[in-house]
Structure 1
């Protein structure tokens, strides 16, 4: 493993954790659409990199809320149906745990690479 491959994976998983955190933070925000990250194999078949971040098209649940409507040139507040967030908290928590474990595995591989490099340098010196 090349060290830059490990760093690229850490970067990708860090962004993934940020996307998941954003989804969880907006679970109660009306109209919010959760995003999902897709990872892909890095260049030359090595490592992992972020493929894309895609916003979900699944509609959120409808609930009653207050909205502003225009009537005869005046803005009025009135009860309307509002689309809630489509964030699935259980799915986001599982995604966060998976991404966190992948992040930890990459940290361990970078540490192992660093340790092996240190051993080689000690032998050469």
Structure 2
């Protein structure tokens, strides 16, 4: 039973890292040259989930901007809001599911202790 709580807590921690990555990407959507990060979830032995963060090196759109030296070609951020928002919504649901698992495990443990006493 404790292993179920441990697995759900590792899931909560991993999803939290995924949400933080999405939030950081959205916050830097207008930062020139910013490279987005992606979090992938991997199974961790003997149980649980691990979040692996990697920076995506694809180039952002190139635009001409007026600078003191004339027009210069500037690379914009490679973050796309159309990818980030659905990812955040999914992460929210994953977080809720793992939280519900912790709550159910807590209830089961409480009921078991009530039976024992």
Whether TM exceeds 0.5 here: the answer is yes
In the alignment, the residues of structure 2 paired with residue 98 and residue 89 of structure 1 have an alpha-carbon distance, to the nearest angstrom, of 14
Deviations 1:12-44 (A, max 9, x none): 110110000000111111101111001101212
The equivalences for 1:11-22 within 5 A come to 11-22=13-24
Distance 2:63 2:96 in 1: 40
List 4+ stretches of structure 1 deviating above 4 A: none
Q: Please identify the structure whose Cα radius of gyration is greater.
A: 1
Residue by residue, what CA displacement relative to the aligned partner does 1:52-80 show, whole Å, maximum 9, x if unpaired? Answer: 2111121000112245xxxxxxxx64320
2:42 maps to 1:40: yes
Shift of the alpha carbon at 1:81? 0.6
> Could you tell me how far apart the structure 2 residues matched to 1:29 and 1:61 are?
12
* Aligned: 1:30 with 2:22: no
User: Mind listing any 5+ residue stretches in structure 1 that lack a counterpart?
Assistant: 68-75
Alignment size in residue pairs: 115
2:6/2:48 contact within 8 Å kept? no
Give the alignment's TM-score, normalised by structure 1: 0.85
* Structure 2: runs of 5 or more not aligned: none
User: More strand by proportion, 1 or 2?
Assistant: 1
